[in-house]
Amino acid sequence: MLSAKRILLIIGGGIAAYKTLDLIRRLRERGASVTPVLTRAGAEFVTPLSVSALAGHKVFSDLFDLTDEAEMGHIQLSRSADLIVVAPATADLMAKMATGRADDLASTVLLATDTPVLIAPAMNVRMWQHPATQRNIATLKGDGITFVGPNAGDMACGEHGPGRMAEVPEILSAIEAALGDGPLRGRRVLVTSGPTHEPIDPVRYIANRSSGAQGTAIARALAALGAHVIFVTGPATVPPPDGVTVIRVETAHEMLEAVESALPVDAAICAAAVADWRVASASDRKIKKTKGGLPVLEFAENPDILATLSQRTTGRPRLVVGFAAETDDVIANATSKRTRKGCDWIVANDVRPATGIMGGTENAVTLITADGAEDWPRTGKDQVAAQLAARIATALS
Ligand code: C5P
């Protein structure tokens, strides 16, 4: 049920807009209120009269409609909803969103909003597959926009492939999921993930074997409980999850900067395998092979992101969780790490190569809190993530 949920529905200009009329009816049946915004192109496919009659609400369409500006204003319009839904989201609307253009009411609302946004793309298959659209999709996903569809099938233009707008029941489920009353709804949670790359020169770097799988699974699990996840990731081998805000970094220094700019957050989960050292003075030119000897690399210590966050005197997240990948004396080392760094919990694991955990799909962890150590049975990284996300939700409740 969607009772009392406020949906701002932006209708773009595509043949699939006819399905949006049915979407409006189904949303209202479930108790949601629908405020429609019709783009100029959208009005070529469905009439403002049909939209307003079905929504039971005035249709907004013009940025420069002074009556609306006086009554409500586009800023207020963008904020007075629980969810913004764009259906159909055309290639053009997506390009505007990805580049931050604001040249009509719909794009201005989308740029001004701090409300979650769900889009249902619909376009010709070639337009969907075009590298420009694919770049925009990646950007929008990185900005935390949730997608539903498109589906593959026969298109109104006579072609076949991905580009059909998702069907109304699918859009309804996506809306229900986006508005779900998960226990972390309204919480901002930061997750660091992946390795860092520390440059030696423009072509060489120091790295580690972290795949980013566990951090990615944790971010996905937290988002599934309704959290707004800021996902700061080094160059990982697994792609970031959908529905989170992705900030990509390379070095430990960049990661610290991104983490600090994401504050304030309710909880921070530091799952990244941050390089402990960097090359003190990385060369800005490729170091040449010399006949008379080998280059000597001098190291400098990297900032400890987990310790920095944990020991903040102002704006410390309520819950800071660190990881301890150990090969010896796992519990003893992780317990002392918890106090040394000042974090609340440590998720400890044994990463001896024989365990197959580093870079693998399973994990066996011990959760160390102020109350002691708790062994969790070996299971998939997704299940470990779901269990940890549930514990975080309890701790923040
Ligand atoms: O000291 P160690 O690397 O074993 O600590 C692991 C924990 O500290 C992990 O949570 C990791 O994300 C975090 N860490 C960090 N910044 C560093 C080193 C580790 O945030 N420079």
Q: What percent of the chain has pLDDT over 70?
A: 97
How far does residue 141's CA lie from ligand 1's centre (Å)? 27
Average pLDDT, the chain: 91
Residue 149: per-residue pLDDT:
86
Give the lowest-confidence range in 102-116, 139-153, 259-273, 331-345.
Answer: 139-153
Strand, helix or coil at 250? coil
- Class of the CATH domain delimited by 6-179: alpha beta
The residue whose CA is least distant from atom 13 of ligand 1 is 306
Residue 72: per-residue pLDDT:
60
Residue 68: per-residue pLDDT:
61
CB of 77 within 8 A of CB of 8? yes
- What is the domain partition of the chain in residue ranges? 6-179, 188-396
Same fold, 6-179 and 188-396: yes
- pLDDT tier, 67 (very low <50, low <70, confident <90, very high otherwise): low
Query: How many angstroms separate the Cα of 20 from the Cα of each of 86, 121, 153, 204?
Result: 10, 12, 18, 52
Residue 71: per-residue pLDDT:
59
- Alpha-carbon distance 258 to 256, whole Å? 5
How far does residue 75's CA lie from ligand 1's centre (Å)? 41
How far does residue 271's CA lie from ligand 1's centre (Å)? 8
162 token code pair:
């991905």
Token pair 């697994």: residue? 238
- pLDDT tier, 153 (very low <50, low <70, confident <90, very high otherwise): confident
How far does residue 307's CA lie from ligand 1's centre (Å)? 8
- Say what the pTM is: 0.68
Residue 66: per-residue pLDDT:
52
Helix runs in 143-198, H state only: 168-178
| pLDDT beyond 80 at 200 | yes
CB of 135 within 8 A of CB of 27? no
Helix, strand, coil: what percent of the chain each, to 5? 35, 25, 40
103 token code pair:
């040249």
CATH 3.40.30.10 is held by the domain 188-396: no
- pLDDT tier, 372 (very low <50, low <70, confident <90, very high otherwise): very high
CB of 225 within 8 A of CB of 243? no
pLDDT digits (tens, 9 = 90+) for 172-197: 878 887 887 788 887 889 999 999 99
Strand, helix or coil at 88? strand
Residues 62-69, mean pLDDT to the nearest whole number = 66
Query: Is there an atom of ligand 1 within 6 Å of 270 CB?
Result: yes
| pLDDT beyond 80 at 210 | yes
- pLDDT tier, 320 (very low <50, low <70, confident <90, very high otherwise): very high
Q: Which residues are catalytic?
A: 157
Query: Is there an atom of ligand 1 within 6 Å of 326 CB?
Result: no
Q: What is the 3-state secondary structure (H, E, C) of 67-95?
A: HHHHHCCHHHHHHCCCEEEEEEECHHHHH
Token pair 């005035």: residue? 58
- pLDDT tier, 160 (very low <50, low <70, confident <90, very high otherwise): confident
- pLDDT tier, 69 (very low <50, low <70, confident <90, very high otherwise): low
What phi and psi, each to the nearest 5 degrees, are found at residue 88? Answer: -75, 145
Query: Is there an atom of ligand 1 within 6 Å of 215 CB?
Result: no
* Ligand 1 atom nearest residue 271's Cα: 12
Residue 103: per-residue pLDDT:
92
- At 187, the amino acid letter reads R
| pLDDT beyond 90 at 237 | yes
- pLDDT tier, 245 (very low <50, low <70, confident <90, very high otherwise): confident
Spacing of C-alpha 200 from chain mean position: 31
Residue 311: per-residue pLDDT:
98
- pLDDT tier, 276 (very low <50, low <70, confident <90, very high otherwise): very high
Residue 70: per-residue pLDDT:
63
Residue 134: per-residue pLDDT:
96
23 token code pair:
């979407």
Residues 284-311, mean pLDDT to the nearest whole number = 92
